Amino acid sequence: MQRERHFFMSNTEKITGMGAIPHAGGVAFRVWAPHARQVAVVGSFNAWDGTSHPMHAEENGYWYADVAQAKIGDEYKFLLTTEQGALSRIDPYAREVTSSVGNAIVHDAQFDWEGDDFRVASWNELVIYELHIGTFNDEQKLNLPAHFSSVSARLGHLKKLGVNAIQIMPVGEFAGDRSWGYNPSHIFSVEIAYGGPTAFKQFVKRAHQEGIAVILDVVYNHLGPSDLDLWQFDGWSENGRGGIYFYNDERAHTPWGETRPDYGRGEVRQYLRDNVLMWLEEYHVDGLRFDCTQFIRTVNGTDHELPEGWNLLQWINDEVARKFPGRITIAEDLMNNRWLTKDVGAGGAGFASQWDAMFVHPIRLAVVTPADEQRSLAAIRDALCYRYNDDAFDRVIYSESHDEVANGLQRVPQEINPDDPKGWHARKRSTLAAAMVFTAPGIPMIFQGQEFLEGGWFRDTVPVDWDQCEEFRGIVRLYRDLIRLRLNHNGFTRGLCGQFTQVTHLHEERKVIAFHRWDKGGPGDDVVVVANFYREAQENYVIGFPTQGTWTLRFNSDWQGYNDDFRNHPSTDVGAEPGETDGLPCYARLSIGPYSVVIFSQ
């Protein structure tokens, strides 16, 4: 395992760190360029003169200079003399840039957090809202992507909705002004079109003040591939590939270009690890979601293992757990690999949780399939009960994410009824999927606008339609009510935060499934969820209950208050009587509307 690099001269201690390091006497600069013959730092402080501030060679290919004339706010670059000629490069560790192809800026990392000591909720009490900064609340009249400040203006909506964590798609500086964010040009700098680094800190601070954690999506399976100054950074490369920061053989290849970082090279490993710790320390983010980890741990995304990639994930997760206890790391792997969420000490990668393909695909298929007879309740049962290891919350469950509503896929309402995505069928069955998300064991997540039936498919040029938030305010309330139950706000649905699930009833012909959720069990804890995946109501329907007595109806998705044309089916409290049913000691008769969910507790 590597340790933080410290640099010393024979008589004078040098300043530690990489990139531009402001201090009382100026700015120190350090860069790794092992194949450069000479390196100079040029910038607005020396009229971009390559002879004014040559850098001195250190061990292992590092170069250093301390420039008294430089100050915070100055623009700069590194000028490398190489066998390929003179190369002007943006600092790989630049905390701020003028643009993806511009200059680095000496950034002031100091920020008044006003005592921010926010702590993210425990995994079993997390509710995540995924959003894309550029489209969440953009300036339509100006045709500009959203700014962190404009997204902050919507935090009140998210707080009222009840989510306690937002997961934002990548904000590292990328090519152009509009992007999903998965093409990072400068991973230490925050996208200037969104407001840059200080605006991001202000955004995190504001979210924390609203009681909302911030989880950031990061991309380490590839870099760029465009506007990438790291490419052949110091002139050296092999096989026409990327040079010191990248693999220079077949391991370089990814679906996004031949820009996979060299996970086996110490300086590159340090570069990625330092980036992780920067987000957690300097930006106070509460967790990180690692994009496409299957292309970090394998060469081809399936079976050609890349041991140094796996070891890198272990090292980073171990560092995060030790230095930032309570922060969450989430893997997007989608290959059903339980070792991702096993502890590092047990040989796992050490992630706290991972996106779960075993949930999203069967649940989504269950509601978008046109014919009721073709829905598989057995597949729904398996999705509800699946777990990777001994913790039900080591998976993130959802029916919509940025990947599931793009790349040829639509939003769930659109998939259900392309001709009428706001109609009764689309509303009823999409909210049926949402109810499964919030009642199943796992960390629930929704995607931006899902709570008001955002339609079409996700594009980085199309803003969220906030007019629909008012038009479908009843659906918003449905989501809010589900989240309140999920988080046990009223003290009688603790079981939805619990580890335990038992599917007690499954009727393939009538398309009814019922399951029992609990933590410790008993009144205020035991929850019974009944879902009707059929177009007609179910009357006088018998299912088993854990104990006898009155079971209070806490939620009915067919309530007319959620939409005027919901049928307001007269589901009511039920009285459970002794009599073994569905493997439980008691039973009750209930009624449930079409494509509806009812939730009971004592």
Question: Which residues form the catalytic set?
Answer: 291, 332
Q: Which residue has the tokens 């710790």?
A: 277
Partners of 144 in the β-ladder: 139
Q: Which residues in 181-207 are b (16+ Cβ under 10 Å) and which e? A: bbbbbbbbbbbbbbbbbbbbbbbbbbb
Residue position matching structure tokens 């922060």: 327
Tell me the two tokens of residue 376.
Answer: 């598989």
SS3 246: strand
β strands within 297-442, DSSP E:
328-331, 353-355, 395-397
Which tokens in the block code for residue 75?
A: 């623009």
Q: Give the chain's end-to-end CA distance (angstroms, integer).
A: 52
Count of C-beta atoms within a 10 Å radius of residue 180: 19
In angstroms, rounded to a whole number, what is the distance separating the alpha carbons of residues 368 and 378? 16
Return the H-helix or E-strand segment holding 26. strand 26-32
The answer to whether the CB of 67 falls within 8 A of the CB of 61 is no
> Cα 244 to chain center, whole Å?
29
The answer to whether 538 and 512 are in contact (CB under 8 A) is: yes
User: What are the DSSP calls for 374-420, one per residue?
Assistant: G--HHHHHHHHH--SSS-TTSEEE-S--TTTTSTT---HHHHH-TT-
Name the residue type at position 22: P
Beta bridge partners of 592: 538
Number of CB atoms found within 10 A of residue 565's CB = 10
Residue with tokens 């809010």: 480
Q: CA nearest 531: which of 429, 422, 424, 385? A: 429
